[in-house]
Structure 1
Amino acid sequence: MSTVRRAAAMTVFVLGASFATRACYADDTITLMVGGIDKIIYLPAILAKRLGYFEQPGLDVSVVTEPAGVNAEDELIAGAVQGVVGFYDHTIDLQSKGTEVESLVQFASAPGEVELVAASHAGDIKTPADFKGKSLGVTGLGSSTDFLTQYLAKKFGLARSDYRLLPVDADKTFINAMRAHRIVAGMTTEPTVSELLASREAKVLIDLRTEAGTREALGGPYPAGCLYMRAAWVNEHPDAARKLTHAFVRALQYIHTHSAEQIVAQLPRSYYQNRKALYVGALGAYRHTFSTDGRMPADGPRTVLGILSTIDPSVKATDIDLSKTYTTAYLDDSEK
């Protein structure tokens, strides 16, 4: 889908769960695009909005959504949005293509993703080596789920031509793709994971919801969900960058000081609909994986760079300056 068509189709969330189009944005509005706003891994974005953490210091922030992080990245490059809530790995990927963006706040040191296998194929897919000849679901081509799936397949000896990647977004579209046998396995996140496990339609192959599972599968922590923005914009708007950073850190702290039930009570009903108990359970299991301070794990960037350079020859480790892919300046400021 083209950038223009995506921009016309994207959904905008504003306080009070009302919706509008981007045409309604004021010129001084900061627009943040989330790669799937109802995904638990990106929970700090909706919490910061619902709890007034953006508005309290005087920011006018619109939070909009696209199903796949790669689409949000495109919108940032096009200048349609000022920031993205997505995976940190895009900062490295974009630097390799000549665009400098940086993470201001890291949400967790684990991706929160799970490689699921359709229950009907669980007997013949025991490891990623068994992906050969199969159709695998990812949120979008060029997305972080694409990167991670390629890495896991390569780690188990497969070439990129040995399997097919099908962009199926997340939530219902992912579930429907598996039910229709368009994919036999795929990478997705909560609450989609819990829904498919609860219905016994899928089984876990690789679990990246914890740092321990992530280290086992990827060789180290994999800082994933974050707020990233163009470095030029951040340099030109340091006060806004500081306020945004503080708002997200407050949301992370809220997650650690409130129960899953209390957190879900702050969310729009559309997030969970008739599956509230499932959503609460999924959040309760994952919320301790969230960072308490928004800091980058010490060896995280190197792990991410190693994975991207393994699957993409254009991402040369020697050409990437990791210090330009994230900043702690505004986190340090919050401690003064």
Structure 2
Amino acid sequence: MRRERTRALILMVALAVLATVGPRAEAATKLVSAYAAISGVFGGLWMAQEVGAFARQGLDSSLVYISSSTQIAQAMLSGEVPIALMGGEAVVNAVLGGADMVFVAGAINRPLFFMVVTPDIQRPSDLKGKALGVSRYGASSDFATRLALRHWGLEPVKDVAILQLGGIPEILAAMKAGGVKGGALSPPTSVRARREGYRELVNTADLGFFPHDAIVTTRAFLRDNEETVRAFIKGYAEGVHRYKTDKALAIDVLKKYTKVTDPELLEQTHALTAAVLEDPPLHLDVRGIQAVLDFLTVPKAKTVKPEDFMDLRVLRELEQSGFFKTIR
């Protein structure tokens, strides 16, 4: 049922684009791309869309929200979404299972989540026997949660239950309803939770590397549509630069996509996310992919290298051409 809703949403976006484009846009390459959460970590992508950065690269771009990287992986493998900004664990798991997916550029190389708990949890050991929420199993919030638990000497599932709740705002809603004792929240939800009296135990970005978000496609799409992938990377790079340097506009963009209107929440969300977004040339840190492989228990994870999951040829060509210097 959820897959059908996702497919219907993508179809509606595509039909809306077809209904509204003018003669000039008809020559552009139509591209639907996905993002995995209502979180400021996607601010660079949203900015690129809003300021016409994709259009300047010849793309008739539309964005679709799919509520976890694991679901984006399913949509990509079914051919519904050819390129996305998504978390790394879902990609690694899919490739280890024989799927065609590949990292082509980086976005955030550390897990920008805050482990936030209800006020009665005074210390990490108080979580034993309790439950934490994640968006989906295998999503970035799931990785961050397991990373934090192991950092505290707690075994995921055995010591602390992990429940999938559908999205980041839904984790906070479950905390308020008493369904879970906490979870891995990203801005602006993490900022809102702290202001409402919930306790932050750790910023998981301080615990190590992880491809929180990266530009991902399939090797088949990259092979057959290299210019489209190049155009997307160029547009996204411009969006990231504008998001980091034009605070006022960035806050307006955050307001539109997150539906948050509180100025303080928006300011803090921008500050937190702008600080960790990779500047062009969008470096992808192999230590993040290796961290995912180290976490996995399947035997194949011990026999592969991070480079097996990457094709950075287009990114390197853009860097060598001097393109990224033109948007600084």
Instruction: State the TM-score, normalized to the length of structure 1.
Output: 0.84
Establish whether residue 231 from structure 1 lines up as the match of residue 227 from structure 2. Answer: no
Alignment partner, residue 15 of structure 1: none
After the TM superposition, which of the residue ranges 173-182 and 269-278 deviates more from structure 2?
269-278
Contact residue 105 and residue 249 of structure 1 kept, 8 A: no
**Number of residue pairs aligned between Structure 1 and Structure 2:** 309
CA distance 1:251–1:40, change in 2 (3 Å): same
CA distance 1:230–1:135, change in 2 (3 Å): same
Residue 171 of structure 1: CA displacement? 4.8
Pairing 1:60-209 to 2, within 5 Å after superposition = 60-119=60-119, 121-123=120-122, 126-127=123-124, 129-155=125-151, 156-158=153-155, 160-200=157-197, 202-208=198-204
Alignment partner, residue 237 of structure 2: 249
Alignment partner, residue 16 of structure 1: none
Aligned alpha-carbon RMSD (Å): 2.4
SS at match of 2:108: coil
Residue 321 of structure 1: CA displacement? 3.9
Deviations along 1:248-287, one digit per CA (max 9) or x if unpaired, are 111222233223x331134453524432321122211331
After the TM superposition, which of the residue ranges 273-282 and 105-114 deviates more from structure 2?
273-282
1-structure distance, mates of 2:189, 2:50: 22
Alignment partner, residue 284 of structure 2: 296
Contact residue 11 and residue 66 of structure 1 kept, 8 A: no
Contact residue 39 and residue 189 of structure 1 kept, 8 A: yes
After the TM superposition, which of the residue ranges 102-111 and 162-171 deviates more from structure 2?
162-171
Task: Give the counterpart letter for 2:274 in structure 1.
Answer: R
CA distance 1:29–1:314, change in 2 (3 Å): farther
Deviations along 1:3-58, one digit per CA (max 9) or x if unpaired, are 123333x479xxxxxxx44554669632111112x311111211111111111121
Task: Give the counterpart letter for 2:121 in structure 1.
Answer: A
SS at match of 1:33: strand
2-structure distance, mates of 1:292, 1:170: 27
2-structure distance, mates of 1:63, 1:70: 17
Unaligned 5+ runs, structure 2: 19-25, 322-328
Establish whether residue 313 from structure 1 lines up as the match of residue 298 from structure 2. Answer: yes
Show structure 1 runs of 4+ deviating over 6 A.
Answer: none
Residue 328 of structure 1: CA displacement? 2.2
Instruction: State the TM-score, normalized to the length of structure 2.
Output: 0.85
Establish whether residue 331 from structure 1 lines up as the match of residue 315 from structure 2. Answer: yes
Residue 157 of structure 1: CA displacement? 4.1
Task: Give the counterpart letter for 1:30 in structure 2.
Answer: L
CA distance 1:281–1:43, change in 2 (3 Å): same
Task: Give the counterpart letter for 1:334 in structure 2.
Answer: L
Unaligned 5+ runs, structure 1: 13-19
Contact residue 134 and residue 163 of structure 2 kept, 8 A: yes
1-structure distance, mates of 2:276, 2:143: 21
CA distance 1:315–1:163, change in 2 (3 Å): farther
1-structure distance, mates of 2:212, 2:257: 25
Task: Give the counterpart letter for 1:252 in structure 2.
Answer: V
2-structure distance, mates of 1:136, 1:30: 36
Structure with the higher helix share, 1 or 2: 2
